[in-house]
Amino acid sequence: MLKHRLIPTLLYKDYGLVKGVAFDSWRRIGSAVQAVKVYNMREVDELIFLDITATQQGRQPDFELVDDLADECFMPLTVGGGIGGTDDVERLLAVGADKVALNTALVEKPRLVTEIANRFGTQCAVASIDARSKGPAQYEVVIRSGTQPTGKDPCELAKTAEELGAGEILITSVDRDGTMQGYDTALTERVANAVSIPVIASGGAGTYEHMFEVFSTTGATALSASSMFHFTEQTPNEAKEYLAGRGVPVRK
């Protein structure tokens, strides 16, 4: 049986990790390398590292930093932010990344997904989709760290990403991000039903029950959590124990 994954996300801005609410009011929470060391000891399934200002600042990924992170990371590492072409991907893989996440490039350079999939394999290409609510059962994709609306529907973009060769989808609810009030299960379910590749739910985790709700109702096979691990006493291992006790197959 397919094991469900818990994947903490690290958001990097300028010189350190940050966490905000609804992609705003960024609060500094420490060193990226130290966070990787902690999560490594806690034996999480994977890590996602997103440089949230690289694209807006028009710069490449920080390859040296990713190299430092990968030296401490003994689980699969997905890196996003500032990826402009397959040469960037090749360098990231060379310094220790296992996958790359495309967000703004997914919309502005969609063929890059296919190029990555063809050159490095579909498992390498993660389509990262940020969506904001536009009313009852309506969502719009936003890019550039949530600052630019696109007019695109997240389900349609997820379908396109799969057709282009993406190996999985990371769907983030901008409205729930950092709130710890629970995932947007309606959004996650819609995206999961639209594609046949794995879907990672992101945005809103605050309790183990929120995690169980995602796995039991949406079709997602992985979830991302950040604030609840940074700002509460809850841990990835306890989350797995709780989920396993509720019948969710997890990696232990």
Helix residue ranges per DSSP H, 83-197: 86-94, 104-108, 111-120, 154-164, 185-194
Q: What is the mean pLDDT of residues 104-117?
A: 97
Q: Does the pLDDT value for residue 169 go beyond 80? A: yes
Write the pLDDT tens digit of every residue in 4-52: 999 999 999 888 899 888 888 678 888 999 999 999 888 899 999 999 9
Q: What is the mean pLDDT of residues 175-184?
A: 94
The strand pair at 24-30 and 47-51 is best described as: unpaired
Share of the chain above pLDDT 70, in %: 99
Q: What is 5-245's CATH number?
A: 3.20.20.70
CA angle 115, 75, 173 (to 5 degrees): 65
Give the HSE-up count for residue 184: Cα atoms under 13 Å, Cβ half-sphere.
25
**Predicted local distance difference test score (pLDDT) of residue 1:** 62
Going from the C-alpha of 43 to that of each of 50, 90, 232, the distances in angstroms are 20, 27, 18
Q: Under a CB-based contact definition with an 8 Å cutoff, are residues 191 and 169 in contact?
A: yes
Q: Under a CB-based contact definition with an 8 Å cutoff, are residues 170 and 178 in contact?
A: no
**Predicted local distance difference test score (pLDDT) of residue 25:** 62
Helices (H) and strands (E) in the chain, counts: 10, 12
Write the pLDDT tens digit of every residue in 120-140: 999 999 999 999 999 888 999
pTM, 2 dp? 0.95
What tokens appear for 104 in the block? 């703004």
